[in-house]
Amino acid sequence: MSQEITLVEVALRDGSHVIRHQYTKEKVIEVTKGLNEAKVPYIEVSHGDGIGGSSIQYGFSKDSDIELIRAAKENSPFSKIACLLLPGVGTLDDLKEAREAGADMVRIATHVTEADISAEHIKFAKNELGMEVVGFLMMAHMASPEVLLEQAKLMESYGADVVYCTDSAGALLPSEVKERIELLVANLNCKVGFHAHNNLGLAIGNTIAAVEAGASFVDGSARSMGAGAGNAQTEVLVAVLDKMNYQTGVDLFKIMDVAQDIIAPLLPEPVIIDNDSLILGYAGVYSSFRLFAQRAGKKYNVDSRSILMELGKIGVVGGQEDMVMDIAAQLSKRQE
């Protein structure tokens, strides 16, 4: 009997980084209708940095998260709508609004060693709002498998239905993914998920390693639309999983059509492993820092790769985007 794998499509959230969070309701409706017709189980919708992320630090959204979630929900009779929330960026009020707008699932995201700050949000979403709740442990390469498990157990204890190992920098190797997922699956009672980035060209391979190690939830992004070099490419992932006799329930031809006919025209440029994306994975830097580093590099006439390498050395995490300009300025002075 083949194993079922639950797919979460993230082009309307992680992909938001690619277009600087300029999704409109009309475009979200078009994408959602296509994904719904392709029978994608979950569609994640929100600012790239989660609900409440629209700000001067992360970039302002064109249309609000709540409007986008409502538009998606009204056009997804099959697919469930998920959203992302980073404690400290999004609030409980944001979460309540998202639920009222139709969000079925929330993914509470913290740095891999900071699961304790998710307690209030997970409990509120689960017990007060009746949502499906995912614990999303970001930058998983920055913690040992044992520390990852310790943090995952905290999220499970708060009520998470699924806990994710999230390779936010696309820095993990398949063997490292396997080790982490096997440990989580062996020691948690909840389901285990995996989110990949393709900065080292390993998003599909790492996702397959996760599935073979026991993960039952995986993320994909149509046409690989996501931060850095993008995520595991949904249509490719569906095809590979099908060849391996894993069942996603997603219609391959229809998800291919969504990727080519709806998502591809949205991309300002193809999502590829360029120099900066490669350095993100190599240095272990949060994937959304790519555009910040490129802007800082132009401003200070510094190679953006050098900026990213410095950020990797000091171990920056999501939420420290304001440090990018500081590092660029410091590198510029060294060049004088």
pLDDT tens track for 76-116: 999 999 999 999 999 999 999 999 999 999 999 999 999 99
> What confidence category does residue 335 fall into, taking pLDDT thresholds of 50, 70 and 90?
confident
CATH of region 6-266 = 3.20.20.70
* 223 annotated as ligand-binding: no
Angle 221-114-138 from CA coordinates, rounded to 5°: 15
Catalytic residue among 17, 111, 121, 141: 17
Task: Kindly tell me if the per-residue pLDDT of 291 is higher than 80.
Answer: yes
Q: How is 29-72 classified by DSSP, letter by letter?
A: HHHHHHHHHTT-SEEE-S-TT-TT--BTTTB--SS-HHHHHHHH
* 141 annotated as ligand-binding: no
Rounded Cα–Cα distance for residues 151 and 144 (Å): 11
At 220 the pLDDT is 98
* 61 annotated as ligand-binding: no
SS3 content of the chain, % helix, strand, coil (to 5): 50, 15, 35
At 65 the pLDDT is 94
β-pair partners for 218: 7, 194
CA nearest neighbour of 53 among 76, 75, 20: 20
Rounded Cα–Cα distance for residues 182 and 191 (Å): 12
Helix (H, G, I), strand (E, B) or coil at 57: coil
CA nearest neighbour of 67 among 107, 18, 29, 17: 29
Task: Kindly tell me if the per-residue pLDDT of 57 is higher than 90.
Answer: no
Q: Residues 106, 83: contact at Cβ < 8 Å?
A: yes
* 46 annotated as ligand-binding: no
> What confidence category does residue 228 fall into, taking pLDDT thresholds of 50, 70 and 90?
very high
Question: Model confidence over 116-160: pLDDT tens digits?
Answer: 999 999 999 999 999 999 999 999 999 999 999 999 999 999 999
Residues 91/94/95/100 CA torsion (nearest 10 deg): 160
> What confidence category does residue 1 fall into, taking pLDDT thresholds of 50, 70 and 90?
very low
pTM over 0.85: yes
Give yes or no on whether 6-266 and 288-335 have one common fold: no
Which pair of tokens denotes residue 233? 């490419």
* 286 annotated as ligand-binding: yes
Domain ranges of the chain: 6-266, 288-335
Helix (H, G, I), strand (E, B) or coil at 52: coil
> What confidence category does residue 171 fall into, taking pLDDT thresholds of 50, 70 and 90?
very high
* 14 annotated as ligand-binding: yes
> Terminal CA-to-CA distance of the chain, rounded, Å?
65
* Torsion sign over Cα 47, 237, 105, 216: negative
At 2 the pLDDT is 67
Over pLDDT 70: what percentage of the chain?
99
Query: Could you name the CATH architecture of 288-335?
Result: Orthogonal Bundle (1.10)
Q: Residues 194, 167: contact at Cβ < 8 Å?
A: yes
Over pLDDT 90: what percentage of the chain?
91
Could you confirm whether 17 is annotated as catalytic?
A: yes
